[in-house]
Amino acid sequence: MGAGFLAFVAILAVIYFAVRGRAERLREQMQDLLRRANERSASNRLPTESMIKCPTCGTYSAPGQQRACDRADCPYR
């Protein structure tokens, strides 16, 4: 086992711990982001009753925000 191999292993270890540390931080950031997004959507969620269902495609949309879907017979087209 030469010194070159040991150096190679040491570099691998450094890369491994660097990547693992970054992944851990990224995971925490993602969880924080998700939590904040959930809080936001919970505070300004539209009541289901005010949603209008498209009779053709069954897509629900807020009143005045109907968008045409891919179907040719969509009434919002």
Q: Which residues bind to Zn ion, rule: CB under 5 A?
A: 54, 56-57, 69, 74
| DSSP tally for the chain: helices H, then strands E | 1, 2
Which is closer to Zn ion, CB of 52 or CB of 56? 56
Which is closer to Zn ion, CB of 20 or CB of 67? 67
Radius of gyration of the CA atoms of the chain, in A: 26
CB of 64 to Zn ion, least distance (A): 15
Token pair listed for 65: 């925000």
Eight-state DSSP code of residue 70: S
CB of 47 to Zn ion, least distance (A): 21
CB of 59 to Zn ion, least distance (A): 5
Helix (H, G, I), strand (E, B) or coil at 1: coil
